Amino acid sequence: MILPSLRSSTPSLFRSFSTSRARSIMQPLQVYTAGTPNGWTVPICLEELKKVNPELKWEIHPINIGQNQQKEDWFLKINPNGRIPAIVDPNNGDFAVFETSAILLYLEKKYDPDHVLSWPSSNPQADNLRSEVLQWMFFAHGGIAAMQGQANHFRMQGLGGKNYIPYALNRYIDETKRLYGVLDLRLKDRDYLVGEGRGKFTLADIRAGGWVFSHGFAGIPRSEVPDSVNKWVDRLLERDAFVAGLKTPSEGPIVKNAMANRDWVAEMPKE
Ligand X SMILES: N[C@@H](CCC(=O)N[C@@H](CS)C(=O)NCC(=O)O)C(=O)O
Binding site for ligand X (CB under 6 A): 36-39, 65, 70, 82-84, 99-100, 141, 145, 149
Q: Closest separation between CB of residue 3 and ligand X, Å?
A: 17
Q: Which is nearer to ligand X, 26 or 173 (CB)?
A: 173
User: How far apart are the C-alpha atoms of 74 and 77, rounded to whole Å?
Assistant: 5
Looking at residue 194, what DSSP letter applies?
A: B
Q: Which is nearer to ligand X, 26 or 258 (CB)?
A: 258
Q: Which is nearer to ligand X, 106 or 119 (CB)?
A: 106
Q: Closest separation between CB of residue 51 and ligand X, Å?
A: 24
Q: Which is nearer to ligand X, 130 or 141 (CB)?
A: 141
Q: Closest separation between CB of residue 41 and ligand X, Å?
A: 8
Q: Which is nearer to ligand X, 84 or 255 (CB)?
A: 84
Q: Which is nearer to ligand X, 98 or 232 (CB)?
A: 98
85: preceding bond cis by omega (within 30 degrees) = yes
User: How far apart are the C-alpha atoms of 180 and 150, rounded to whole Å?
Assistant: 15
Q: Closest separation between CB of residue 99 and ligand X, Å?
A: 5
Q: Closest separation between CB of residue 4 and ligand X, Å?
A: 22
Q: Residue type at 123?
A: N
User: How far apart are the C-alpha atoms of 33 and 43, rounded to whole Å?
Assistant: 9
User: How far apart are the C-alpha atoms of 180 and 236, rounded to whole Å?
Assistant: 16
What residues have CB less than 8 Å from 37, skipping those under 6 apart? 145, 148, 149, 210, 211, 213, 214
Q: Closest separation between CB of residue 158 and ligand X, Å?
A: 18
Strands 29-33 and 58-62, by their bridges, are parallel
User: How far apart are the C-alpha atoms of 124 and 133, rounded to whole Å?
Assistant: 16
CB contact at 8 A, 207 and 100: yes
Q: Which is nearer to ligand X, 27 or 148 (CB)?
A: 148
Q: Closest separation between CB of residue 153 and ligand X, Å?
A: 9
Which string of b and e fits 149-163 if b means at least 16 CB within 10 Å? Answer: bbbbebbebeeeeee
